[in-house]
Structure 1
Amino acid sequence: MTEKLTGNEAVARGIYEAGVEIATSHPGTPSNGIIEILVQYDDIYVEWSVNEKVAAEVAIGASIAGKRSIELKAEGIQVYGKNIFPKHGTLSQEVIKKSFNREQIAFRTGKPENRKMCAGCPYRGLFYALKQVLPKSRKYFVAGDVGCDHHAELKPFSFMDSQIAMGSSIGNIAGFQQATQLKYSVAIIGDGAFLHSGMNALLNMVYNKSKGTIIVLDNGAEATVNGQSHAGSGYTLRGESAKKIDYVKLCEALGVEYVRTVDPYNLSQTQIILKEELNREALSVIISSAPCVKYVRKSTIGEPKSVDLDKCVGCGTCLDVSCPAIHLKGKMIWHRKSKIDTEQCIGCGVCSQVCPYGAII
């Protein structure tokens, strides 16, 4: 006997039989009937997201994890196949065709990236501390945003796994964590991106009982676009004083139970809090607060640092903070000594905290 299905039932059955494991949508779309049927299948994780953008980000995050996922949109179904496309380069017609055919794609290797953060950038201390506490087994997923946090994917940090769009990191780890149940899932997002669309994704994680660690880089400016102001800057486009958003109260109002703040220039404190929150079996937010040294901070933090040449052994540990003010001088390894450019150094002290010989004073 032929089984008769409604249109929505047929689509839902097709989604299930196609092996989809993650399905997202948001209330109010014409495709709601499909996802309400999908709830009946135990093998599929289904969620209401707070809006279409977040639904897409969650589906993309699951796709990065290798799970077949879909987002049911206002018009039709959006199928995500990030896992079959290369993570680097341009998605040309040739690359897309080869990806669908599972063909090997050869890439030309270009000159290695040599970008560095500004001397004294507060992101540096946070990134260094995070690298110290992340498991060496690489059993973690770190999603970033578009912005200065992209330096975390470059050496010497090299721990960021994805960068999709502004405000996407939180939705991405929600989908990835749901697909893999990975213990360590971290989203790194700038304050501007968080206010732009990250808040919606955080609310979505609260609503859907997702786990993970969200790190908001509060530096008071949109540094990648010439230091533009936003609701967390404390001043308007005209430069007039304005009420500055309180990120702790904002996150708590969204329903996050665990919200902590760190001073990224204090490495020991930052590492302790990062370790505690990464090991927490719940959703938590860490606010890393320190002003952008290029657009917000009006003065140096302290006196420029210098190197005690008698103590320096040229080990290069200080280079692990990736500060452009620090260099190793000396042609031979046994003659190498660290040197600090006092014109660039703003005295943040991160390098002196990592030196194992106390040679930076």
Structure 2
Amino acid sequence: MDSILLGGSALRVSRITLGTMTFGDQNTQQDANTQLDYALAQGINFIDTAEMYPVPPRAETVTRTETMLGHWIKTQARDRFVLASKVAGPRRGMHWIRGGPSGHDRDNIREAVHQSLQRLQTDYLDVLYLHWPERNVPMFGQYQFDPKAELDKDGHPMAWISIQTQLEVLDELVREGKVRAIGLSNEQPWGVMEFLRVAREQGLPRVAVLQNCYNLMNRGMEFGMTEVLYREGISLAAYSPLAFGHLTGKYVDDPATPGRVTLFLGYAQRYKKPGVPAAARAYTELARAHGLTPTQLALSFVYHRWFVGTTIIGATSLSQLQENIAAYQVRLSEAVLAEVEQLHLTMMNPAP
């Protein structure tokens, strides 16, 4: 498996990351152990989790993923893999996470890391992400910035924890050896540049990795963010490369087929947009016309984009995981890539 240095850090990670957000809901402990063992055997050393997993987040399942992962971790040599987790922020109404975090302040970040380390049965995280910005930004299917969301019900500006304060807390954790590198997730270009500016001016930890959505139906990263990544030397960890299963072709063949879309109705609003079914069908037909599976087309496209450092994949079965990893060996021809671009120009970003 190919690998990269993660941003400006000393962490060398595989070009594929094993995502774990199904562990504890769709996958049992044995399923999780099997997937983790298989991934490591294939040269995948980067494991991604979060305190709020499994997904979709619910009060009755929250933190199960980290707990299950911890049972596996305690049987492993810790230096065999690179481990990332995430701190949830406010603005999403999940009161069952630490009583409903009020912000990315010192107490919330430190408490989240302390609890994650306990569940994961490890002394440190290789990467700690802020799971989403606490300030007002469009995310998770929203796509327009709304200045009105800056105001409370009385029309007064709402306060949010400064980026300098957030970085100072992260700096404490790095200095204490509890975190090795920091990352941002579901972040916007302004936020990335502001984190970099403050870090540079105040001598605080520099962002090494950005974890954002990127797939054939959501290429918003290409509007400005890729230049930031290139010029600032930040790695992208691309998530949702199969667009919640829409790019596997299974819902094209049978809209009622069992999967996350049919199991969790109303979740993942990003993929409820009106252009998604037509785009899924078009990419499915393109893949099959060239002797590829839709999964191969979708994953190979993301795996080999010049700005993608590592791609996060997840699976509910070992066979799915095997197919997803094997797709790394597929390289799309220039002819196929040209057709992808034509489709993109015709139906651009139906799932922003």
Instruction: Give the TM-score normalised by structure 2.
Output: 0.28
Instruction: Give the TM-score normalised by structure 1.
Output: 0.28
Highest relative contact order (Cα 8 Å, sep 6+), 1 or 2? 2
Max radius of gyration: which structure? 1
